[in-house]
Amino acid sequence: MTHLGLIGVGVMGASFAQNLAENGHAVSLLDRDISKAQAVADAGADLAGDLIVCEDAQALINSLPQPRSILVLVPAGGPLDTVIDMLIPLLSQGDLIADLGNSNYLKTQERVARVEAAGLQFLGMGISGGAKGARIGPSIMAGGSKDSWARVQGPLRDASAKFEGEACCNWFGPGGSGHFIKMIHNGIEYADMQQIAETYGIMRDGLGMDATEIAAVFKSWMKGPLNSYLIEIAAEVAAAIDPKTSQPILDLILDKAGQKGTGRWSVIEALHLGAPASLMMAAVEARNISANKEGRTEMQAAFGASPVAMGAALGSRQEAIDILENAMIAAKVCAYVQGFEVLKRASDAFSWDLDLAAIARVWRAGCIIRSVFLDEISGVFDAGGHSNLALAPIFRDRLMATTPDLQRLVGAGVMHGQQVPALFAALGYHNMRRTGNSTANMIQGLRDYFGAHTFERIDDLGQAVNGPWHNTSK
């Protein structure tokens, strides 16, 4: 039994405290609203471990054995810094603060430095799985002080999701590495969700299918390589009926997507690292455009609606659905190739020495992107496979088999005005990535012409030279 502190009993904090108690651990609870902490303790009275309500930070600290370990589940940003500022003067040498929120990894790096300068330890941990996951077993990605990880890994592994008995919970490296990994998890989550929205759109607007028919298609995809939590819940979202109107609830949901920032951060960091992340970018842009409903409605009045029925452009309905499934498989491979490339670039740039196989393993259960696919990815990395997943035989073969359908779908989709930015981005990326002889020679020529930026000649590599235009009077 371990005794931990936990600050912030909102939905995630309450669920995680009860999860820890269910696993026999004692948890001292603190919240600005003591009645919330009391409610969590009351609801968990029958659990194996104790849930102890504390009236203030000092009481929480007094209740914990030294060195103390305190988990913080408050909103990222200002509220988290307020809690850290409150704890620093009260804690003793070697005590640990662990942030389990969706913090920006750069902020986590700063917090590690600030907390360690005060003689304390800090862990930045991404946890995925939503409130339900926090209660029954999330996926946990930790970074920061390795010594302190040894102290809390027992209870966190107990509380985490298990894949075939293996805890989906690990420490990956120093500083903000845990939150970086969680950020990329969310970037991939954005890309997966956008592909689901695009295939839904083709079925709805291109093939004229209703929500119930679309739900059946998503359900059928659970039998193939797309088997994943997000496809499973896409089927449930499409099938759900609104009790008030007896219509599919999906038809009544306003088409303005929210976002809290992790997808955008993923794209920004990928750009900084020079790693392609076009599917995440397409997904973030699609959410941005969706948010401007008024602007879209105004444009539709001026230009007419974009998507038009696709008729038999993709063959029979079943043929079209098979093409959609294959297109999504191809695009999904591209999204994961990109996601793991960003992680590899970050690992090299920041000397984190990230274990890509271990990352894929903690994503196999508990988290939002959990899927059969991730088990295959971990298998590739575990076998010492290429860090470019597209070159691992299982994904290379799959990509080769499905790319023709991605081409068919994107081609027909574009011709019929469908909304397919992520599928389009996947194809554009794959086309460029598989081309040994690109068109960047023209870019280099232009750069040299207007700015004398120089280029290398293919017949004289290693030498920076100028083109003949610099010898003319132009």
- Catalytic positions, written as ranges: 182, 189
Q: Which of residues 204-243 bind ligand 6PG (CB under 6 A)?
A: none
User: Which is closer to ligand 6PG, CB of 179 or CB of 408?
Assistant: 179
CB of 8 to ligand 6PG, least distance (A): 15
Q: Is 267 in the site for ligand 6PG (CB under 6 A)?
A: no
Which residue is closest to ligand 6PG by CB?
A: 128
195 binding ligand 6PG? (CB under 6 A): no
Q: Is 159 in the site for ligand 6PG (CB under 6 A)?
A: no
Q: Angle CA(232)–CA(238)–CA(244) in degrees, nearest 5?
A: 130
Which of the residues 93 through 112 are near ligand 6PG (CB under 6 A)? 102
Q: Which of 38, 227, 259, 387 binds ligand 6PG (CB under 6 A)?
A: 259
DSSP E strand stretches across 380-441: none
Which is nearer to ligand 6PG, 26 or 100 (by Cβ)? 100
For residues 429 and 276, the answer to whether their CB atoms sit within 8 Å is yes
Is 274 a binding residue for ligand 6PG by CB under 6 A? The answer is: no
Map tokens 């232009």 to a residue. Answer: 446
Choices 158-166, 255-263, 379-387, 427-435; region in contact with ligand 6PG by CB under 6 A: 255-263
Least separation in angstroms between residue 199's CB and ligand 6PG is 19
As given in the structure block, the two tokens for residue 464 are 């920076």
Looking at 104, 128, 347, 419, which residue binds ligand 6PG (CB under 6 A)? Answer: 128
Choose between 265 and 395: whose C-beta lies nearer to ligand 6PG: 265
The DSSP call for residue 471 is G
**280 vs 392 by CB, closer to ligand 6PG:** 280
In angstroms, give the least distance from the CB of 288 to ligand 6PG: 12
Q: How far is the CB of 368 from ligand 6PG (least distance, A)?
A: 4
Shortest distance, CB of residue 253 to ligand 6PG, whole angstroms? Answer: 14
The span of 39-47, 66-74, 123-131, 463-471 binding ligand 6PG (CB under 6 A) equals 123-131
**Binding segment toward ligand 6PG, per CB under 6 A, in 257-265, 269-277, 301-309, 325-333:** 257-265
Identify the residue among 129, 175, 187, 248 touching ligand 6PG (CB under 6 A): 129
Residue 313 Cβ, how far from ligand 6PG at the closest point, in Å?
Answer: 32
SS (H, E, C) the chain: CCEEEEECCCHHHHHHHHHHHHCCCEEEEECCCHHHHHHHHHHCCCCCCCEEECCCHHHHHHHCCCCCEEEECCCCCHHHHHHHHHHCCCCCCCCEEEECCCCCHHHHHHHHHHHHHCCCEEEEEEEECHHHHHHHCCEEEEEECHHHHHHHHHHHHHHCCEECCEECEEEEECCCHHHHHHHHHHHHHHHHHHHHHHHHHHHHHHCCCCHHHHHHHHHHHCCCCCCEHHHHHHHHHHHCECCCCCCEHHHHCCCCCCCCCHHHHHHHHHHHHCCCCHHHHHHHHHHHHHHCHHHHHHHHHHHCCCCCCCCCCCCCHHHHHHHHHHHHHHHHHHHHHHHHHHHHHHHHHHCCCCCHHHHHHHCCCCCCCCEHHHHHHHHHHHCCCCCCHHHCHHHHHHHHHHHHHHHHHHHHHHHCCCCCHHHHHHHHHHHHHCCCCCCHHHHHHHHHHHHCCCEEECCEEEEEECCHHHHCCC
Structure tokens that stand for 339 in this block: 């996601």
Q: Which of 18, 186, 199, 419 binds ligand 6PG (CB under 6 A)?
A: 186
Least spacing, CB of residue 128 vs ligand 6PG, in Å: 3
Place of tokens 């959410």: 287
Task: Tell me, by CB under 6 A, how many residues bind ligand 6PG.
Answer: 13
Binding-site member from 130, 307, 379, 417 for ligand 6PG (CB under 6 A): 130
Shortest Cβ 254–ligand 6PG spacing (Å): 15
Contact track, ligand 6PG, 367-386, x by CB under 6 A: xx------------------
Of the ranges 126-134, 162-170, 291-299, 453-461, which one interacts with ligand 6PG (CB under 6 A)? 126-134
The residue ranges that bind ligand 6PG (CB under 6 A) are 102, 128-130, 186, 189, 258-260, 262-263, 367-368
